[in-house]
Each structure stands twice: as structure tokens, then as C-alpha cells.
């Protein structure tokens, strides 16, 4: 591209985004992003990158150069960059790169483990005065009695110190009887809200009891007839040895 030009928004701040349509489906392994800045404003600190149905979070230590964010082998023909945490104003980028291989052949989608919980790199003005243990401490267990108690939701809020291992923008089963607080008791700058793609597409929530010694809970399940009785692969299974987040 032309190094003398930039992508600039009109005061979009944390809601800024830009989408690239590739000429064919591609195997994307990493992206590069160089945030523009106007000193006290217009700088992006944290952004989301979406490739196909995969979404992950990337951080930018500063606006001095482009930083690479590795995302594994992700297949898609559209790549979207979404600002998540900025200093506000006319945010944008001096340079954006998408790294991988274009292909006109059918690409076999690789199986991948769930994305790990995101790690925040916050600007100095937002650094919390609390310590944070980032190890996963619990899984979400939503109690239920019938299927109508359960519903699928996309996690669009994440606190600075999450106590659960549920990744941002992932699909989970919630309960109308026992709803999960995505902010986990935190608010303000310690709990960020983002716009996520619909990761719950073709999924539903059911009331499920693994065995007679455990209580029924809401679980994510495929909604297609061919996989009607198959619990979604990335849905975390309740572990009796772990504490439970209500």
C-alpha cells in the first residue's frame, strides 16, 4: 500500500471497524496492525480480528510500529478488524497486513481448540489498582429443570480479572433461573463490552443431566437434525472438582 496514507475514522473511537474482502478464500495465519495516533487521542490499544466464524483479541503496546498477532490457521474470504479499547477520537491505522495463503481450491477447515481467555494490555490511564490471577478458576454451570429454562448467548462482556474460562465472543448456555453475570461483579472500565459475531448460529441450549449424581444444567447443543443429540465440541464439560461460577 501507500505508506503516505492512513485509514482514519470520523470520531468512531471504540466502535471503529474496517473489513477486507479477499479475492478468494484464504488460510490466514496472522495479521499486522500499526495504530495511528494524535498523541492524546486516536490510538487503538486493543482490537478484535474476525476471520470467517473465528474471533480473537489482539493488543498494541504502542503506536510506534506494526505489531503481528498470530491467530493460527483460520479459513475465510473476509477479514474484519474491530476497535475494542482506544483513546477515542479519529482512530485508525497507518498500516494493516493480512498474512497467509490465498487458494482457489477447497480448503479443509482444521479443527482447533477453543480460544484461550484474552489477556488485556491497557493504556496507563486505565491500569486497575488490583492484582489479577489469570488462571481459569471455574466453569459456568446454569441450573435448570426443563429445556425452556435454557437459552444460548454470545459473551459480549469480559471483566479485567475473569474468574471463568469462557472466552470473549464465544457461545454459552445460560439459564433464565440462574443467569450468568458476564461482568462477574465488576463494572466501569474493568468490564469491557464488545460487538461479537453470532457464534451461537445453528446451536441451541437444552437442560442436560450427565448422570444421576449430578444436577441438571444448561448445555449447548447442535440444532441440526443430523447432530441433534451431540453436545457442541467446544462446550466446556462441568468438572465436579472445580468451583462453580453462578
**Hey, what's the cell of 138?**
471455574
Burial readout 145-184 (b: 16 or more C-beta within 10 A, e: otherwise): eeeebbbbbbbeebbbbbbbbbbbbbbbbbbeeeebebbb
Q: How far apart are CA 50 and CA 224, in angstroms?
A: 24
Task: Using a pLDDT cut of 90, give the percent of the chain over it.
Answer: 35
* Lowest-pLDDT choice from 15-24, 28-37, 166-175: 166-175
Q: How far apart are CA 164 and CA 39, in angstroms?
A: 36
Give the residues across from 97 on adjacent strands. Answer: 32
pTM of the model: 0.45
**Hey, what's the cell of 32?**
499486522
224 has pLDDT over 70: no
pLDDT-based confidence at 136, cuts 50/70/90? very low
Number of residues that make up the chain: 246
**Hey, what's the cell of 47?**
482490537
Query: If you average pLDDT over every residue of the chain, what do you get?
Result: 78
pLDDT-based confidence at 127, cuts 50/70/90? very low
**Hey, what's the cell of 1?**
500500500
18 has pLDDT over 90: yes
Read off the pLDDT of residues 225-245 as tens digits, 9 standing for 90 and up: 444 444 443 333 333 333 344
Q: What phi and psi values does residue 123 have, to the nearest 5 degrees?
A: -70, 160
4 has pLDDT over 60: yes
Q: What phi and psi values does residue 227 have, to the nearest 5 degrees?
A: -125, 30
Question: Between residues 91 and 181, which one has the greater pLDDT?
Answer: 91
Amino acid at each position: 500500500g501507500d505508506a503516505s496514507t492512513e485509514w482514519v475514522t470520523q470520531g468512531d473511537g471504540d466502535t471503529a471497524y474496517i473489513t477486507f474482502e479477499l479475492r478468494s478464500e484464504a488460510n490466514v495465519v496472522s495479521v499486522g496492525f500499526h495504530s495511528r495516533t494524535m498523541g492524546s487521542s486516536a490510538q487503538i490499544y486493543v482490537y478484535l480480528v474476525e476471520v470467517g466464524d473465528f474471533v480473537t483479541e489482539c493488543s498494541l503496546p504502542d503506536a510506534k510500529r506494526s505489531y503481528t498477532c498470530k491467530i493460527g490457521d483460520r479459513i475465510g474470504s473476509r477479514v474484519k478488524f474491530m476497535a475494542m479499547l482506544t483513546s477515542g477520537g479519529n482512530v485508525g491505522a497507518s498500516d494493516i497486513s493480512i498474512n497467509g495463503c490465498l487458494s482457489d481450491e477447497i480448503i479443509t477447515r482444521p479443527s482447533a481448540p477453543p480460544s484461550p481467555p484474552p489477556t488485556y494490555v491497557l493504556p496507563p490511564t486505565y491500569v486497575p489498582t488490583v492484582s489479577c490471577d489469570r488462571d481459569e478458576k471455574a466453569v459456568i454451570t446454569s441450573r435448570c429443570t426443563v429445556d425452556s429454562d435454557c437459552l444460548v448467548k454470545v459473551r459480549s462482556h469480559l471483566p479485567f480479572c475473569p474468574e471463568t474460562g469462557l472466552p470473549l465472543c464465544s457461545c454459552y448456555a445460560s439459564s433464565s433461573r440462574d443467569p450468568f453475570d458476564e461482568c462477574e461483579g465488576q463494572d466501569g472500565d474493568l468490564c469491557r463490552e464488545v460487538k461479537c459475531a453470532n457464534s451461537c448460529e445453528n446451536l441451541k441450549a437444552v437442560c442436560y443431566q450427565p448422570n444421576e449424581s449430578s444436577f441438571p444444567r444448561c448445555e449447548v447443543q447442535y440444532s441440526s437434525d443430523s447432530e441433534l443429540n451431540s453436545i457442541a465440541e467446544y462446550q466446556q464439560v462441568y468438572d465436579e472438582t472445580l468451583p462453580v461460577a453462578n
